[in-house]
Amino acid sequence: MGMCLDTEDCRFQNRDKARFCAKCGIPTQGALLQGRYEIQYLISKDHSTVTLRAIDRHEGLPVIVRALIPNKCSEETRWQYPCHRLRTRWADSVSGEV
């Protein structure tokens, strides 16, 4: 069973193949978002978003992904939230692009 990445507030034991936590809705470790970003671990969480460390499977680079927490935001917020990835200086330095 895969424990939720939110080990402070959720700690839900999900099925091994679950892509999202059944209790809080955040992506689980190993989940592939948008067919590209493989989630590794939770960096931080605020009111309605989570910041996650991931690997861009198309480019092979480490990236930072921000995702909405589905049960913590309104339907309107979900439609307005931009879908994009955030690359960090750390990720750029790992790939030698600094």
Give bridge partners of residue 23 from the DSSP assignment. Answer: none
| Structural domain boundaries in the chain | 28-95
pLDDT by residue (tens digit) across 59-91?
999 999 988 887 666 666 655 655 444 444 444
Overall pTM > 0.75: no
CA 65 – CA 34 distance, rounded (Å): 11
**CATH superfamily label, 28-95:** Phosphorylase Kinase; domain 1 (3.30.200.20)
Band (96; pLDDT cuts 50, 70, 90): very low
